[in-house]
């Protein structure tokens, strides 16, 4: 059984993620981190640090996520840290399944056409100016019509979508399938934009999906809690 949680890195959803992991008794918790980001999350002190990288895009993205996380009263990577700590508490194996995100960003910088880079830079400036409102609007638009949202992004930023979504989806799906041969009950914690692409590559595996929009909505999250509790009760019978 695989429970896949779609998260948002700048949203305060640590409690929701912890609850799901705590009450599903996983053998393993698979997280959308590479080894370097795992170390950064685990060694975080809560103090502001300036991200350093050979990739300007990686540095800018990290700074933006740190800023948005602060505005939402959550530490950078807070939901991943919650997943790691709750998984450890449950005695689960913690498995990093992502590619080297810094290298992926550097590859984008090296291959992205100038016109696409200009569009991305302009969009980044807009996001920084409008901050939380831009983030909320993007999440709302994505949740209302995921397929159309991704189609527009693919048309606007083909290089970025290929490198940051498609290639990572394929890699993480491969890591999940590999782990499924070892573990019977897994929780997978990935960015919500990866859920659909990963699941499409995992045909034949039983997957229960819990999306970001559900965790951000109190009524929907209450239904998830009830469903999990009912599952626990059935397992005891």
SS3 30: strand
pLDDT at 130: 47
Judge whether 141 lies within some domain: no
What's the pLDDT at 231?
77
Mapping DSSP onto H, E and C, the string for 137-171 reads HHHHHHHHCHHHHHHHHHHHCHHHHHHHHHHHHHH
pLDDT per residue over 121-178, tens digit each?
Answer: 887 755 654 455 666 677 777 877 888 988 999 999 999 899 999 999 999 999 999 9
Which letter does DSSP use for residue 98 in this model?
-
| 115 falls within a domain | no
Could you give the number of structural domains in the chain?
1
pLDDT in tens, 45-64: 544 445 555 566 666 666 65
Domain that holds residue 59: 2-100+169-236
Report if residue 128 sits inside a domain.
Answer: no
Query: What percentage of the chain has pLDDT greater than the value 70?
Result: 78
Residue at 161 is within a domain: no
Query: Is 138 inside a domain boundary?
Result: no
Tell me, yes or no, whether 32 lies in a domain.
yes
Structural domain includes residue 11: yes
pLDDT bucket at 182, cuts 50 / 70 / 90:
very high
Instruction: Report yes or no on whether pTM surpasses 0.75.
Output: yes
pLDDT above 60 for 192: yes
**What mean pLDDT is reported for the chain?**
85
Let me know if residue 110 belongs to a domain: no
């Amino acid at each position: 059984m695989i429970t896949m949680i779609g998260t948002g890195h700048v949203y305060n959803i640590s409690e929701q993620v912890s609850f799901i992991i705590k009450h599903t008794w996983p053998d393993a918790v698979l997280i959308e981190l590479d080894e370097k980001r795992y170390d950064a999350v685990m060694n975080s002190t809560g103090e502001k640090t300036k991200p350093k990288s050979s990739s300007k895009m990686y540095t800018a993205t990290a700074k933006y996520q740190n800023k948005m996380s602060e505005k939402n009263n959550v530490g950078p990577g807070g939901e991943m840290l919650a997943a790691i700590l709750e998984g450890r508490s449950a005695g689960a194996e913690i498995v990093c399944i992502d590619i080297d995100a810094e290298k992926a960003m550097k590859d984008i910088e090296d291959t992205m056409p100038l016109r696409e880079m200009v569009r991305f830079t302009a969009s980044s400036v807009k996001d920084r100016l409008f901050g939380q409102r831009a983030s909320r609007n993007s999440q709302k638009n994505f949740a209302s019509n995921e397929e159309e949202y991704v189609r527009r992004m693919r048309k606007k930023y083909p290089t970025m979508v290929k490198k940051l979504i498609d290639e990572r989806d394929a890699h993480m799906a491969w890591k999940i399938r590999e782990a499924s041969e070892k573990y019977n009950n897994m929780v997978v914690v990935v960015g919500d934009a990866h859920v659909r692409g990963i699941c499409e590559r995992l045909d034949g595996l039983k997957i229960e999906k819990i999306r970001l929009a559900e965790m951000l909505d109190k009524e929907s999250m209450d239904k998830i809690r009830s469903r999990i509790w009912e599952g626990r009760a059935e397992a005891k019978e």
